[in-house]
């Protein structure tokens, strides 16, 4: 959904006017504004190599929760794909999720030949300017 800058400015005006009369309604409008015009977005980047064929994928979300759901789905698929290519004892993986910072990283690869088979998935928090 696209929101015009003019609409954001109108809602900001309403929020400011309400803050002088009704603090609760001002907070409601503030939350709506934050959802429509987030201060941060969460970028998922996936970079891989499958039998020397490069892959790249990018997604952008307004909330960390939505980004994390997609990230978990992508990591599940990467694990499944890697197990189709090689056996468990040839796979190395690592993962870190920091919900407080709004970041996550996952890496899975072939132990002996990283360049042949690997997949790296990250979530980074970016400020909207």
Per-residue pLDDT of the chain (129 residues; tens, 9 = 90+): 456 677 767 777 777 777 777 777 777 777 776 666 667 889 999 999 999 999 999 999 988 999 999 999 999 999 999 999 999 999 999 999 999 999 999 999 999 999 999 999 999 999 877
Taking the CA atoms of 7, 9, 10 and 11 in sequence, report the sign of the dihedral they define. positive
C-alpha closest to that of 102 among 129, 58, 68: 68
pTM over 0.75: no
pLDDT of residue 36: 65
pLDDT of residue 4: 67
Q: Give the tokens for residue 126.
A: 């970016």
| Three-state DSSP string of 87-115 | CHHHEEEEEEEECCCCEEEEEEEECCCCC
């Amino acid at each position: 959904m696209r929101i015009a800058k003019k609409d954001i400015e109108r809602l900001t005006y309403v929020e400011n006017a309400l803050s002088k009369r009704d603090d609760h309604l001002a907070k409601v409008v503030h939350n709506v504004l934050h959802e429509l015009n987030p201060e941060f977005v969460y970028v998922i980047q996936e970079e891989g190599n499958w039998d020397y064929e490069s892959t790249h994928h990018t997604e952008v979300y307004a909330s960390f929760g939505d980004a994390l759901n997609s990230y978990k789905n992508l990591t599940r698929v990467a694990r499944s794909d890697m197990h189709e290519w090689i056996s468990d004892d040839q796979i190395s993986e690592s993962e870190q999720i920091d919900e407080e910072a709004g970041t996550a990283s996952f890496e899975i690869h072939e132990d002996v030949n990283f360049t042949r088979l690997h997949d790296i998935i990250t979530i980074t928090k970016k400020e909207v300017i």
